[in-house]
């Protein structure tokens, strides 16, 4: 599970965002994925 989370965090970074707005969107997406994963694990 930790490897999956690490991959999800690294993927947007490695996707080469060109703008600060793009980085912000990617960070937001990763946050949502982590939140969803945590909620699924809790259930």
DSSP structural state of residue 18: -
| Helix residue spans in 1-43 (DSSP H) | 2-14, 20-42
Question: pTM to 2 decimals?
Answer: 0.50
pLDDT in tens, 1-43: 778 887 777 777 766 556 666 778 888 988 999 899 888 888 7
DSSP structural state of residue 15: T
15 Cβ contact list (under 8 Å, min separation 6): 26
Residue 24 half-sphere exposure toward CB, CA atoms < 13 A: 3
pLDDT of residue 19: 67
Domain ranges of the chain: 9-42
pLDDT of residue 18: 60
């Amino acid at each position: 599970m930790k490897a999956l989370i690490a991959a999800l965090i690294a993927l947007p970074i490695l996707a080469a965002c060109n703008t600060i707005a793009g980085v912000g969107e990617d960070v937001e997406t990763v946050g949502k994925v982590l939140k969803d994963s945590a909620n699924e694990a809790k259930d």
